[in-house]
Structures are given as structure tokens and as C-alpha cells.
Amino acid sequence: MSQEFDYIVIGAGSAGCVLANRLSEDPDARVLLIEAGPRDRHPFLHMPAGLAKLVDKKGVNWSYDTAPEPQLNGRSLWWPRGKVLGGSSSINAMCYIRGVPGDYDDWAAAGADGWNWNGVLPFFRRSERNSRGDDALHGSLGPLYVSDLRYTNPLSSVFIEAGVQAGYVRNQDFNGPEQQGFGFYQVTQKNGARCSSAVAYLDPARERRNLHIVTGALVGRITFERGRATGVVYSAGGRAYHQRAAREVLLSGGAINSPQLLMLSGVGPAAELRRHGIEVVHDAPQVGQNLQDHLDVCTLQHSTQRITYDRVSDVRIAFDYYLRGHSGPGSSNIAEAGGFVRSALAPDARADVQFHFVPAMLDDHGRRRLAGDGYTAHACFLRPRSRGAISLASASAGDKPRIQANYLSDPEGFDLKMMVECAKLSRELFAQKAFDPYRGAPIFPKRNDLSDAELVEFVRAKAETVYHPVGTCRMGNDEAAVVDPQLRVRGVEGLRVIDASVMPSLIGGNTNAPTMMIAERASDLIRGRL
């Protein structure tokens, strides 16, 4: 490609699509967006319930596995991440959650100047087109459609009622003045179809002459001259390319790929880079460190009534969806209802446990099908204290990095106590009267009367990720931070990281909406508007 670009965006995921749109709004800015995966053409990427079929869909998923986790019986956990236009926003459950103001005030207190709640709220609102309209907390004119579900399973309402019976409030808006309580999730959908970052941000910008999109292209490294990022080397269609950037290189690979590419390019812990024969551009020991994720434990119960999604006809769902105006179960995000709870162990006023209810039996991310009918409560601890790391397996971008999540490794053992609490709270919800007409035999755990010690073993044997890795290119105003509050990589010039990897700490909820917010705010930083 002979053309020179002003900006090169690496990764067309939740953040990269936002950047490509916003930066190409300036007709004089030439933008190249590079994505390792394909275009988002598969119908399962757009029918919301198709997410259940994407589990086994090769080609749109990086399909990572962690290293053996010492506190989880040495198990390697499967980490799906989107490898397609839209990234993980094209394969996730579409739950639109921001967290709470205190999460972002914590970022600012930790050195992320300007990223407090008052600093980020305008960018949440700018991105959002909420079907309920505009108010002080929500936007109605943005590109990202946020909607109420068109269809919900009856058991999802039962779960919400069980939460009320357990003493919690009913909540119509988890992104409203109060997060705590039980209710239906709002979802990133437009007219009953998934509204990924590619749909929201790329589709309206595809015809711009100053935006060029390349798919099926794997970036091998970022190039530097005298400490400044000057471009990228990537491969596509069996050929290698070196593309230059006149202004900046913007890395939006996500919490796994971004630190990997930094290290492959010579920015990272010097000793590890030298071990792999990589020339050190800048010694940055914290690249790949500070990895955080929400660990999740599922409680499964058989249903005595055949109203779950376990044995529905895929053909009928697709027929109803595509031929009847995006209606019926095909428009469901599967995880329709949920809740936020402040447990007895919570250190402050914020909810510390999140639930996702699934009116089906979900084991091993849906990869293991169980016989019969049932329902599932996901429960995760929202502010884990354990920290992991991403490191290189080799000097090749084609080799997956090593992921050591270090779940449940905090010295105080608090994360494990909280996961036991998650299992107990799920058990209490399923014991409420609302479930009496549907409650069959327990599946996981196999008994409802497990002791705390037995619940510890259950957690170690069955806990899995709920897909929210962050933090591996931490933002801060200290010299050890990988990026500064303007998301510029310390120690070099012309390079920023813009994705979930820059989060100093996990927010209290799903991470997709916050990642798009980060890119919205970053686009203003890049253009000198902040």
C-alpha cells in the first residue's frame, strides 16, 4: 500500500471502531484501521441469540486459554475474545453496563487525571442512543443503540421476582441513579439486532474516502525511529507490508493483544524481551502486569417445566427472527435479567456482586450440553484483589501469549471468600418462592446444603471467566504506569494505547460500554479538544 496515513489504528474492536469513526470525521485526517479477523458478515453475529452458536465458530474468536491456574485445581480457563470487526462487541451478550461513579473516581484517585465520573459521563452520553430517551445520565443521539429487550423468557421475570422476595429492590435501570437491585438488562441492539461497535461506528463511516479498512491482517510489530512510533509491519494474504503513520499509531488490541504487541515491538520488561531476542526500545516493566478479570461461578438447577432455551428449535428461532421482523427468542441476548447486590462482606457502599441469569443450563461457556431443561445463575465478585500478567510465549505475533490470571491469589484470601459468598447468594435466590413451580433437582452444585468448605471446592472446580480482562497497560500519572492520562505510552512518542488494557482497575460491571467510552474520550484527546 503506497498511501501514507496520519493515524494507524491497530484492532477494529470495541475501541478501534470508535477511533476510526471519530478521527475520520476530519476529512483531512487519513485513517487506516487494521483488523486481524474477518468482516462481520456471519448472520449469527447479528442475530442476538446467535451468540450461543458463536461458541464453536472458528475464525471470529481468538479462543485463548490461560496457563494452569494454581488456585483453580490447575485448570486452564478458556478466554474467548472477538477476532472480527467489532471485536468482542460482536460476540458478547450485549449487556450495557457502565459501573458506578465511584469506579471512575477511584481511577482518578489512582492517578488517571481527568477520568473521574464527571470526566467520563459526557462521553458515555455522547456514544449512546438510548431507546428510552435523553436525560442527565443517558444520551439519545449517539451511534450506539441501547434498547430494552424485545423478547424475554418467562423465567427471567421469575428470577427478578426472586430477587425482590430475597429482600432486594426492583431496578429498571442499572445505569441510573442507583445500580443495586434486580431487573432486565438494557442491551446494545438496534431494531432487535446486535449493535456492535462495527455496526454503530464503522458502518456509518465505511464510505469515507479518508478511511481505509484492512481485515485479515496480523500486525507483527510497531516500528520506531529514534524513539518515535513511525508505523507498523503487518501480514495479509501471504504478503508482508510496512505502513507508515505521519502522526500517531493507536493500539487498540485489547487487554491481551495490546501488551503482547508492545512487547513484540520492544516496549516492555527488558529482561523478558531480551530472552526472546527482541531489541529493547524502552524498558517498561509494567507492560502486561496488573491483569484483572471477573471470576464467575454458575449455579445450575433443573426446571420441571419445559420453558427454557435448552431444547428450542434453532430453525424455528431463525425463521421467526428473520422473517417476522427481528422478533421472538432470536432477539434475546440469553442473559436477559440480572442484579447487583451489596454482600455482607462489601467494604463500601457499592454493590460487589453481579448476577446474570440464563434461562438455560450453561456449563463450560455453553460448550458442554446437558440433558433436559434448567436455568443458570452467574455470579461474580466485582472488585477482585488478585492480579495476573500477560507475557510472551515467543517473539512471533502468530503465537498466543501466556495468560496467567492468578485468580484467587490475593494474600488475604478475600477473593475466595467472595466467590463462596457468590455461590451462597445464588443458592438463596433459587430457594425463593418464585421458583417453586419450576424448581427441579440441583445440578451444580449437586446439593443445596454444601458447607463453606465444600463450596470452596466447588468454586475451585467450576469457576470460570465472565470475559472482562483489563488493566495490562495501566494508565496513571506515575512513572511506572504504561500510559499517561492522555493514553500516551511512556518512554516513546507517537504511540497510544486505547482499550480496556488501560483501565487502572475493574469497574463494577460489564466492560464493553466503558471501553467504548475510553475510545470516545481518547478521540478528543488526540484531536486536542480536551
Per-residue cell: 127: 456514544
- C-alpha 268/C-alpha 157 separation (Å) is 49
357 touches 376 (CB < 8 A): yes
Expressed in angstroms, the distance from the first to the final Cα of the chain is 33
Residues 6+ apart with CB under 8 A from 59: 37, 38, 83, 84
**Residues forming beta bridges with residue 231, ordered by sequence position:** 223, 244
Q: Which of 212, 302, 378, 468 is catalytic?
A: 468
79 touches 403 (CB < 8 A): yes
Residue (of 60, 62, 96) closest to 79 by Cα position: 62
Per-residue cell: 425: 447468594
- DSSP, residue by residue, 406-453: -TT--TT-HHHHHHHHHHHHHHHHHTSGGGTTTEEEEEESS-S---HH
- C-alpha 97/C-alpha 106 separation (Å) is 17
Sign of the Cα torsion 138, 141, 146, 147 reads positive
Q: How many other β-carbons are positioned within 10 Å of the β-carbon of residue 238?
A: 5
Determine the residue type at 1: M
User: With 0-12 CB in 10 A as exposed, 13-18 as middle and 19+ as buried, what is 353?
Assistant: buried
- C-alpha 182/C-alpha 159 separation (Å) is 8
How is residue 198 annotated by DSSP?
Answer: I
Residue 468 bears catalytic tag = yes
Sign of the Cα torsion 145, 61, 59, 238 reads positive
Determine the residue type at 342: R
Alpha-carbon dihedral angle through residues 328, 331, 332, 333, given to the nearest 10 degrees:
170
φ and ψ of 456, to 5 deg: -60, -45
Residues 6+ apart with CB under 8 A from 245: 4, 5, 6, 7, 8, 32, 229, 230, 231, 232, 494
Per-residue cell: 33: 484501521
Q: What is the largest CA-CA distance in the chain?
A: 70
The residues annotated as belonging to the active site are 468
